[in-house]
A and B are shown apart, each in its own frame.
Chain A
Amino acid sequence: MIQRLHGILVWLALCLSGLQTQAQGIKVHIVSSQASAPYLDAAQALIKGLSSHGVARSEIQVMSLADFSNVSPVALPTGKVWVALGTQAAAALAKAQLRGASVLSALIPGSGFERVLRQSGRQASAQFNAIYLDQPLQRQLVLIRLALPRAKRVAVLWGPESWNRADTLRTLANTHGLVLRDARLKVESDLFAALQSVLDGSDVLLAQADPLVFNSSSIQNILMTSIRDKVPLVAFSPAYVRAGALLAIYSTPTQVGTQAARWVLDVLAQRTLPEQAMAPDDFEISVNLEVARVLNLPLDAGQLQLSLKRLEQP
């Protein structure tokens, strides 16, 4: 409750500070889908990153999705960079005609951004790009190799929104000496059968974000099935670790905000955004020590994180 109150107060403070400088030229507009803690954290990290590199607070405007929706399209401010936090904000900015402005979406899963692109008829470009929440497949496979060295067969369940990454993963798995056992889920009722088929003989279940497969209703039964089959789940969110997944690799909102600030600074510095969507640079790893103990896996999140980052360094 106190945390929620704190978030609201911070959000009000951010909005008010933006309003004060509305008359002057605003360089960065931040539109947030929600006022919840992750979005606030991301916004704060973004502002902090910008401020630390000479962008005045007055040049940054933070607004809610509702505020943005209420503004008439002709009266839209003409900032240089728009940052959308969340899928819904990204969808709103995709529909808006923001002449000459670069739009960077953050805190958005890859499947979500792709849906936004489909719905808005746009393509990822230097003017409309995103930093995905999803960790690169390569990073995920490396993590599996680090955490579960004995694992050979990796089970993956694809949904309609994640299916397009299946081939890539299969290729990468092969390069890492892993065998991919995957299945494509078309309707939710097939979940158990599909899960049963991929888990059979697998060493690890790698979760790929897809609303049809992994959602709040299904996670319990997926976890129970995997644990019963003694197949640990490697997930993409710390919440899954809390629910019973062995470990998760993910980027925190602050990490995402900080990464977004760097790209905004690049744009403000007359550079352009990359043409392709970007993977998150920084990440964190969470381990469910209880599950690890049950599976007799001596894992240490910090150690894994360090090892993985070390491996990613050029």
Chain B
Amino acid sequence: MKTPDIRLRMLLAALLPVLLLSVLLSSVFLATRFEDITEAYQLRTRAVARQLALISEFGLFAANRIQLQTLVRGALREPDVRWVAILDQQGQMLASAGDVQAGALPPISTLQEQAFLDRELHDVLTQPVFATDLKLDDLYEDTRQGNAGRAAPLGLVVLKFSRQSLNAQKRDILLLGGLISALGLLFGAVLAVKLSAGVIRPMMRVSHLIERIGHGDFAAAAQVQAQTHLNDPLRDLQQNLFQMADRLANVQRDLELQVATVTHALREKKEEAEQATHAKSRFLAAASHDLRQPVHALGMFVARLAQLSHDATTRHLIDKLNDSVLAMQNLLDGLLDISRLEAKAIQIKLESLPLADLFERLALDLVPLAQDKGLRLRFRSSQVWVKSDPALLYRILLNLVGNALRYTETGGVLVACRRISGADQVAIEVWDTGMGIAPEHQEAVFKEFYQVDNPARQRSQGMGLGLNIVQRSCQLLNHPLQLVSHQGVGTRFRLTVPQAAPQAQSAVLPVADASEPLDWRHCTVLVIEDDDLVRQALVGLLESWDMTVAEASSLARANQLLGEGVRPNLLISDYCLSDAPNGIMVIAQLRQRLAYPVPSCLISGDTDPELIRAAQTAQLSLLHKPVRPAKLRNLLRHLMRAQTVPDGVDRS
């Protein structure tokens, strides 16, 4: 829009004066010419009339009709004359000639010296004919004093003229004037275009240059500079522009250099940080893996030990030992949960479930803990149903309520739910009367291993992983989580969950089915584990459950056992084995050899997300070390009953 605007303005600025001048001059010229030719026409017609009057004087004097007829015919040959007549003193027509149609005579008095009548395109001229007055300067004239004054006219000459040729002439002049104006305008336009181009072109070049510079194309200045002529009217402006572009280009180069330098430094820092993170992760993973093996074995040994009969002192020691093992296992479980959430290895199963059931189970799990602490844990239940993943939602609430109980010393914890009016959603709220969280910590409490006021990292105050797991789970489920806390008053967590229509059958929660007994005596388990200690602990535990256990430290040994005729109903394999790539392949080979899909599960001390995904792909149940004996027992029962593996991932 800018380009035509400038051009149009320049063109108008140059053309308007030319147009005005042209119109003015043409108007003056035409007006003058019209006046001239009209005057000339009037003079000519009057001259014709006078001439005819003059030459018809004697004819009128002599009443010579023949002569007068000759005269009127002659007058008719004059241009524009349409009709001619000569009348005598009495108004009697002596001679006439011309177009009969044009012969209608207007009412003209014969005494009228001149009558100039416009009638359509005709002018009627009348000219009285007087006898020529000869000045005699005679003494006899003195006697004629009484007759002084002009004598009566001899007659009257009437001519009718057509204005057609006059109008045609005017038309021609008008056309000529129009043509001259148009030519003048055209010439002016061409001149204006030519002259304005000399200004506009550099302006456009400068405008374009500025636009290109605006887009960062500083090289354009050098290109345009090469095209600039010495007589360019905007040369100075362009020179200044080139200098400006040059300086800008330099500044930009400097800036880019600086940015590149800083970016490079940042990248190095980032890489360093990433390397450090990787190193830390590797360290943690290794440490975790290495920790899991003994803790796993320890847990199973303690479980085995607890099954034996002891005296009271030993029992007490075993209980304490068990507590320590549990705490260690909880820590490792938390780390495992975070690993799985990070790996997005959790598949969400959205179902409709009644909150009342969920609350009931929470109460079952947590009321004893509250009572131990002397706190009141209340659930304000409701008949409302929600749409969520039952296991994850249970885990979230378990963490939130557990957290609330942990940080509340007096008072109690309230778990309530209410419908949010206007939206099909339910708010599940966990209130406590604890110490509260200071505003500056309210964001940080969701970070891993973050604990407010626990620099000594008291184990009783948890590991600082619960809220992180809660937040990650909420994000996964798309359940908004809000925290409102006042220091010294208490804290409220609000979880917003979509409401669901009530259904006849409630979703089955993965509740540990410990009450249902199973006869394990006909069950043969093949355990493949290269760690002797762990293998011994696991074998001991399984045998304590009346299972027949065949143990192998490697794939080769397992094959050998199969060769010896061992036919296991279950396969339990460690993931990391010395003579095989991994446990998945070991199970696959053994299943192939056995020629049927033996129910199998993997046990691994590694929390690597890749491993979790691989197990999912292979549709194998994966237990992470340390495996709690109860959980192992549940899984084995489940596998035995299903005979197939419905879900690849342990979701408990």
Contact pattern, B 118-151, Cβ under 8 Å of A = 1, otherwise 0: 0000000000001111111111111111010001
Interface residues of B in 296-330 (CB under 8 A from A): none
Enumerate chain A residues within 8 angstroms of B134, measured Cβ to Cβ.
216-217, 219-220, 239, 243
Given contacts A221-B58, A224-B58, A243-B134, contact A236 B140 (CB under 8 A): yes
Given contacts A88-B142, A192-B62, contact A239 B131 (CB under 8 A): no
Enumerate chain B residues within 8 angstroms of A253, measured Cβ to Cβ.
139
The chain B residue with its CB closest to the CB of A239 is: B136
Give min CB distance, A288 to chain B, whole Å.
Answer: 14
Interface: A257 (CB within 8 A): no
Interface: B529 (CB within 8 A): no
| A87 near B136: Cβ-Cβ < 8 Å | no
Enumerate chain B residues within 8 angstroms of A224, measured Cβ to Cβ.
58, 61
Give min CB distance, A113 to chain B, whole Å.
Answer: 10
Interface: A189 (CB within 8 A): yes
| A87 near B141: Cβ-Cβ < 8 Å | no
Give min CB distance, A207 to chain B, whole Å.
Answer: 10
Give min CB distance, A13 to chain B, whole Å.
Answer: 23
The chain A residue with its CB closest to the CB of B143 is: A112
Enumerate chain A residues within 8 angstroms of B136, measured Cβ to Cβ.
215-216, 219, 237, 239-240, 243
Give the residue of A111, A221, A237, A243 whose beta carbon is less than 8 angstroms from that of B61: A221
Given contacts A88-B145, A220-B132, contact A192 B138 (CB under 8 A): no
Given contacts A188-B151, A224-B58, A243-B134, contact A216 B63 (CB under 8 A): no
Give min CB distance, B89 to chain A, whole Å.
Answer: 7
| B58 near A211: Cβ-Cβ < 8 Å | no
Cα–Cα, bound, A191→B133 (Å): 16
Give min CB distance, A103 to chain B, whole Å.
Answer: 18
Interface: A18 (CB within 8 A): no
Enumerate chain B residues within 8 angstroms of A33, measured Cβ to Cβ.
142
Q: Which of B58, B61, B63, B141 has the most CB of A within 10 A?
A: B61
Interface: A109 (CB within 8 A): yes
Interface: A198 (CB within 8 A): no
Given contacts A211-B147, A243-B136, contact A217 B131 (CB under 8 A): yes
Give min CB distance, B10 to chain A, whole Å.
Answer: 71
Cα–Cα, bound, A87→B140 (Å): 9
Q: Which of B62, B137, B143, B145 has the most CB of A within 10 A?
A: B143
Interface: A7 (CB within 8 A): no
| A217 near B58: Cβ-Cβ < 8 Å | no
Give the residue of B89, B130, B147 whose beta carbon is less than 8 angstroms from that of A215: B147
Interface: A131 (CB within 8 A): no
Q: Which of A88, A107, A215, A236 has the most CB of B within 10 A?
A: A215
Contact pattern, B 243-280, Cβ under 8 Å of A = 1, otherwise 0: 00000000000000000000000000000000000000
Enumerate chain B residues within 8 angstroms of A189, measured Cβ to Cβ.
89
| B139 near A38: Cβ-Cβ < 8 Å | yes
Given contacts A188-B151, A192-B61, contact A239 B138 (CB under 8 A): yes
Enumerate chain A residues within 8 angstroms of B63, measured Cβ to Cβ.
192
- Interface size range of chain A in the complex: 35 or more
Interface: A272 (CB within 8 A): no
The chain B residue with its CB closest to the CB of A225 is: B62
| A112 near B142: Cβ-Cβ < 8 Å | yes
Give min CB distance, B137 to chain A, whole Å.
Answer: 6
Give min CB distance, A239 to chain B, whole Å.
Answer: 4
The chain A residue with its CB closest to the CB of B151 is: A217
Enumerate chain B residues within 8 angstroms of A220, measured Cβ to Cβ.
57, 131-132, 134
Contact pattern, A 240-279, Cβ under 8 Å of B = 1, otherwise 0: 1001000000000100000000000000000000000000
Interface: A141 (CB within 8 A): no
| B142 near A87: Cβ-Cβ < 8 Å | yes
Cα–Cα, bound, A15→B136 (Å): 28
Give the residue of A109, A216, A217, A218 whose beta carbon is less than 8 angstroms from that of B143: A109
Interface: A133 (CB within 8 A): yes
Cα–Cα, bound, A216→B151 (Å): 10
Interface: A115 (CB within 8 A): yes
Contact pattern, A 193-218, Cβ under 8 Å of B = 1, otherwise 0: 00010000000000001010011111
Cα–Cα, bound, A182→B133 (Å): 25
Cα–Cα, bound, A224→B136 (Å): 16
Cα–Cα, bound, A115→B146 (Å): 12
- Interface size range of chain B in the complex: 20 to 34
| B139 near A107: Cβ-Cβ < 8 Å | yes
Cα–Cα, bound, A192→B89 (Å): 14
Contact pattern, B 61-83, Cβ under 8 Å of A = 1, otherwise 0: 11100000000000000000000
Enumerate chain B residues within 8 angstroms of A216, measured Cβ to Cβ.
133-136, 141
The chain B residue with its CB closest to the CB of A236 is: B140
Interface: A34 (CB within 8 A): yes
Interface residues of A in 8-59 (CB under 8 A from B): 33-34, 38
Enumerate chain A residues within 8 angstroms of B140, measured Cβ to Cβ.
109, 133, 209, 211, 214, 236-237
| B133 near A133: Cβ-Cβ < 8 Å | no
Cα–Cα, bound, A209→B137 (Å): 14
Contact pattern, B 607-630, Cβ under 8 Å of A = 1, otherwise 0: 000000000000000000000000
Interface: A86 (CB within 8 A): yes
Give min CB distance, A201 to chain B, whole Å.
Answer: 18
The chain A residue with its CB closest to the CB of B145 is: A88
Enumerate chain A residues within 8 angstroms of B142, measured Cβ to Cβ.
33-34, 86-88, 112
Cα–Cα, bound, A237→B141 (Å): 11
Give the residue of A188, A196, A239 whose beta carbon is less than 8 angstroms from that of B137: A239
Given contacts A188-B151, A192-B62, contact A87 B137 (CB under 8 A): no
Give min CB distance, A7 to chain B, whole Å.
Answer: 13
Enumerate chain B residues within 8 angstroms of A192, measured Cβ to Cβ.
61-63
Give min CB distance, B132 to chain A, whole Å.
Answer: 4
The chain B residue with its CB closest to the CB of A39 is: B139
Enumerate chain A residues within 8 angstroms of B145, measured Cβ to Cβ.
88
The chain A residue with its CB closest to the CB of B89 is: A189
Contact pattern, A 81-101, Cβ under 8 Å of B = 1, otherwise 0: 000001110000000000000
Give min CB distance, B631 to chain A, whole Å.
Answer: 157
Cα–Cα, bound, A112→B140 (Å): 9
Give the residue of A38, A221, A236, A240 whose beta carbon is less than 8 angstroms from that of B57: A221
Enumerate chain B residues within 8 angstroms of A133, measured Cβ to Cβ.
139-140
Interface residues of B in 24-73 (CB under 8 A from A): 57-58, 61-63
Cα–Cα, bound, A152→B89 (Å): 36
Enumerate chain A residues within 8 angstroms of B143, measured Cβ to Cβ.
87, 109, 111-112, 115, 161, 209, 211
Cα–Cα, bound, A189→B89 (Å): 9
Give the residue of B58, B133, B139, B147 whose beta carbon is less than 8 angstroms from that of A237: B139
Cα–Cα, bound, A133→B138 (Å): 11
Give the residue of B131, B135, B152 whose beta carbon is less than 8 angstroms from that of A221: B131
Cα–Cα, bound, A107→B138 (Å): 11
Cα–Cα, bound, A215→B143 (Å): 10
Cα–Cα, bound, A221→B155 (Å): 14
Give min CB distance, B647 to chain A, whole Å.
Answer: 147
Cα–Cα, bound, A191→B152 (Å): 13
| A211 near B132: Cβ-Cβ < 8 Å | no
Given contacts A189-B89, A217-B151, contact A237 B144 (CB under 8 A): no
Enumerate chain A residues within 8 angstroms of B61, measured Cβ to Cβ.
191-192, 221, 224-225
The chain B residue with its CB closest to the CB of A256 is: B139
Cα–Cα, bound, A161→B133 (Å): 22
Could you show 21 A-B contacts with beta carbons less than 8 Å apart? A33-B142, A34-B142, A109-B143, A111-B143, A133-B139, A211-B140, A214-B140, A215-B136, A216-B133, A216-B136, A217-B131, A217-B151, A220-B57, A220-B131, A221-B57, A221-B58, A221-B61, A236-B140, A237-B138, A237-B140, A239-B137
B: residues with CB less than 8 A from A are 57-58, 61-63, 89, 130-145, 147, 151-152
Known contacts A219-B136, A220-B132; 9 further A-B pairs (Cβ under 8 A): A87-B143, A88-B142, A112-B142, A133-B139, A216-B135, A220-B131, A220-B134, A224-B61, A240-B136
Q: Which 10 A-B pairs have the closest CB atoms?
A: A239-B136, A221-B61, A211-B144, A112-B143, A217-B131, A220-B132, A217-B151, A237-B138, A239-B138, A209-B140
